């Protein structure tokens, strides 16, 4: 009897979860299909039923992580918080996760500490471009809400504040994974506070 849709989907998700662990530990180039299928406890045939090659499972995983990142940012929003407080919470939560949550660290290693072949880079860049729009819209909406409530400075363009927010996020994450500096939770709080104080409207 063939696998049910539920069983097939479970196998697919198990392969993706296993691929995250293997890729984050070994990198893309050093990982073999057998590493993923053996670790997941499935046959090569089962792997090929869901993914045609290593590139496809990696890009599928990459897209899933990006989608999860966007959804998790939305879930960080607190109804009782102001737009600026929400913006601060998003930055703090997403960066500190990389310090304290092993699964989040695996996500981070895929983005910042794994080398790719040129053909994979091309597809990953396309995925990033697709995801830039919802990420931009999310941050810009929070910033505009903060400006409308006079909580965020009116003399700064929304796009400039967005770029500063993304630079705060990506710059700090880069330092976490480049191994040159040791970043602590207190460091993250200080960095994010500097950004928040820089955009806060202090005249209201």
- Residue 47 to residue 200: CA distance in whole angstroms: 51
Count of Cβ atoms closer than 10 Å to residue 163 Cβ:
13
Per-domain boundaries in the chain: 1-52, 59-199
User: In the prediction, which pLDDT does 152 show?
Assistant: 97
Question: Rounded CA gap, 94 and 171, in Å?
Answer: 13
SS3 134: helix
The hierarchical CATH code for the domain 59-199 is 1.10.357.10
Residue-level pLDDT at 109? 83
Cα torsion for 21, 24, 29, 35, to the nearest 10°? Answer: -20
What pLDDT does 2 receive?
53
Q: How far apart are the first and last CA of the chain?
A: 69
| CA 50/CA 47 separation, integer angstroms | 6
Task: Give the pLDDT band (50/70/90) at residue 73.
Answer: very high
Model pTM greater than 0.75? Answer: yes
Q: Quick one: which H or E segment has residue 20?
A: helix 5-26
Quote the mean pLDDT of the chain: 90
Provide the H-helix boundaries in 51-200: 54-76, 83-100, 102-112, 118-148, 158-178, 185-199
pLDDT over threshold 70, residue 30: yes
State the Cα–Cα distance between residues 133 and 146, nearest whole angstrom.
20
pLDDT of 80 reads 80
Structure confidence by residue, pLDDT tens digits, 159-194: 999 999 999 999 999 888 887 888 999 999 999 999
User: Could you tell me which CATH number the domain at 1-52 has?
Assistant: 1.10.10.60
Contact 37, 47 (CB under 8 A): yes
What band does 204 get if pLDDT is binned at 50, 70 and 90?
low
pLDDT, tens digit (0-9, with 9 covering 90-100), for 79-100 = 789 999 999 999 999 999 999 9
Instruction: Judge whether 113 and 25 are in contact, CB under 8 Å.
Output: no
Lowest mean pLDDT across 27-36, 117-126, 154-163: 117-126
Question: Is 1 a residue whose pLDDT tops 60?
Answer: no
- Is 128 a residue whose pLDDT tops 60? yes
Residue 120 confidence class, pLDDT cut points 50, 70, 90: confident
């Amino acid at each position: 009897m063939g696998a049910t849709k539920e069983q097939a989907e479970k196998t697919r998700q198990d392969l993706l979860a296993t691929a995250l662990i293997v890729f984050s530990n070994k990198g893309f180039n050093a990982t073999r299909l057998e590493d993923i299928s053996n670790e997941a406890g499935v046959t090569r045939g089962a792997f090929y039923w869901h993914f045609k090659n290593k590139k496809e499972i990696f890009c599928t995983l990459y897209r899933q992580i990006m989608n999860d990142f966007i959804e998790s940012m939305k879930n960080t929003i607190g109804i009782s918080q102001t737009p600026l407080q929400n913006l601060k919470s998003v930055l703090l939560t997403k960066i500190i996760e990389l310090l304290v949550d092993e699964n989040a660290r695996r996500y981070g290693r895929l983005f910042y500490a794994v080398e790719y072949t040129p053909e994979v880079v091309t597809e990953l860049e396309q995925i990033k471009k697709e995801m830039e729009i919802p990420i931009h819209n999310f941050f810009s909406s929070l910033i505009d809400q903060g400006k409308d409530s006079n909580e965020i400075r009116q003399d700064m363009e929304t796009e400039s504040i967005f770029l500063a927010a993304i630079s705060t996020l990506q710059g700090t994450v880069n330092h976490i994974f480049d191994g040159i500096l040791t970043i602590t939770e207190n460091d993250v709080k200080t960095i994010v506070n500097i950004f928040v104080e820089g955009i806060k409207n202090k005249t209201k």
